[in-house]
């Protein structure tokens, strides 16, 4: 933390989610004047109130990102907004596409309009690798939300609000991620299911996701998308490691746990992409991230950044972590235990 939020007023939209709660923990270290948590999950808000009851600078607001009036009221006098609310479960979005549109697209436009109306300093939106060359409703809705955030910057008129986005891979251990699912399947079903053994995914830790989002808030100049460079994981390797760890914890032989391949779900990809070759043409690159700039807003300079080479940043073109590297990563993030 760099003192950016000291004495400031912060709103976390979707603040009861995994990323929202992690942002809350980090921002509290900066001693902000107030942090407002806006979400529609009253039970999660109750849990947060119990966990953080000694803090007097947190406000808990029940509301939906789909409701513009509620979003605008929550944003009164706010300096910084983190927009993490989303409908993000791929099959649920496929089966209920307009619900995804209302939350992910219209909800994002509500955040943009409210931020402009309330003269917010900066807004950072959390996106996903599934927004790149999308094959599912979730990805398509997130891509549209990214475009809205980017367009907000050059359509803001005289308003000074800065808009930016961060693009995540799969956040390890987050709600709805595959690692908790695998553990549950081992414990309750005695087997796990994977869609395809050759599938690869970008993986990032919750801390990495949180730090990227906060750094984006710090260095954003307007209209950018920030992409962290992150490791690639083979799904079958991940499944085997979780089976070994969980079965050891349960004191059962790992050989008794089956791994069933069930096929790719509707809208799902074999590989994920975090940046297209076309995007790389206008991107800057540092040791830790790509910064995709908005071509409508001209050239921007960032400390330590150079022009990116023309490339696609895909999980298909990168070498996955070895079994040992992946195991070490999961242990370091307290996601598995080695007996």
Dihedral in degrees, nearest 10, Cα atoms 239, 241, 243, 247: -170
Distance, CA of 83 to CA of 301 (rounded, Å): 25
Contact 281, 299 (CB under 8 A): no
Contact 141, 101 (CB under 8 A): yes
Partner residues linked to 260 by β-bridges: 193
Distance, CA of 274 to CA of 278 (rounded, Å): 12
Widest CA span of the chain, in angstroms? 65
Per-residue b or e along 223-255, where b marks 16 or more CB atoms closer than 10 Å to that residue's CB: bbbbbbbbbbbbbbbbbbbbbbbbbeeeeeeee
Q: How many residues does the chain have?
A: 339
**Residue tagged active-site, from 88, 130, 215, 269:** 130
Tokens 């907000």 -> residue = 152
Close Cβ partners of 215 (under 8 Å, ≥ 6 residues apart)? 226
Distances (CA, A) of 317 to 128, 198, 242, 320: 18, 13, 25, 9
CB burial class (10 A; 0-12, 13-18, 19+) of residue 260? Answer: exposed
Look up 130 and say whether it is catalytic.
yes
Closest CA to 175 of 20, 337, 12, 48: 20
Distance, CA of 216 to CA of 224 (rounded, Å): 9
Phi, psi for residue 76 in degrees, rounded to 5: -60, 130
Instruction: Just list the catalytic residues.
Output: 130
């Amino acid at each position: 933390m760099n003192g950016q939020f000291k004495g400031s007023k912060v709103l976390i939209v979707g603040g009861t989610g995994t990323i929202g709660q992690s942002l809350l923990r980090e921002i509290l270290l900066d001693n902000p004047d107030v942090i407002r948590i806006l979400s529609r999950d009253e039970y999660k808000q109750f849990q947060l109130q119990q966990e953080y009851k000694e803090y007097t600078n947190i406000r808990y607001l029940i509301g939906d990102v789909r409701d513009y009036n509620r979003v605008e009221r929550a944003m009164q006098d706010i300096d910084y907004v983190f927009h993490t609310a989303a409908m993000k479960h791929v099959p649920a979005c496929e089966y209920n596409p307009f619900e995804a549109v209302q939350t992910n697209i219209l909800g994002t436009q509500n955040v943009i309009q409210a931020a402009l109306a309330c003269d917010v300093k900066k807004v950072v939106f959390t996106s996903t690798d599934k927004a790149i060359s999308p094959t599912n409703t979730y990805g398509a809705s997130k891509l549209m939300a990214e475009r809205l955030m980017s367009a907000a910057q050059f359509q803001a008129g005289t308003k000074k609000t800065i808009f930016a986005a961060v693009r995540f891979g799969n956040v390890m251990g987050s709600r709805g991620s595959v690692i908790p699912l695998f553990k549950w399947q081992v414990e309750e079903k005695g087997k796990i299911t994977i869609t395809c053994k050759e599938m690869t995914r970008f993986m990032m830790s919750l801390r990495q996701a949180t730090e990227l989002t906060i750094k984006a808030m710090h260095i954003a100049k307007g209209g950018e998308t920030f992409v962290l460079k992150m490791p690639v994981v083979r799904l079958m390797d991940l499944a085997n490691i979780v089976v070994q760890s969980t079965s050891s914890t349960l004191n059962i032989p790992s050989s008794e746990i089956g791994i069933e391949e069930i096929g790719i779900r509707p809208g799902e990809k074999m590989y994920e992409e975090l940046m297209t070759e076309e995007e790389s043409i206008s991107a800057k690159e540092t040791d830790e991230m790509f910064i995709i700039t908005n071509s409508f807003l001209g050239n921007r300079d960032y400390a330590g950044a150079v022009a990116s080479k023309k490339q696609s940043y895909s999980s298909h073109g990168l070498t996955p972590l070895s079994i040992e590297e992946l195991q070490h990563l999961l242990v370091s993030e307290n996601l598995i235990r080695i007996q």
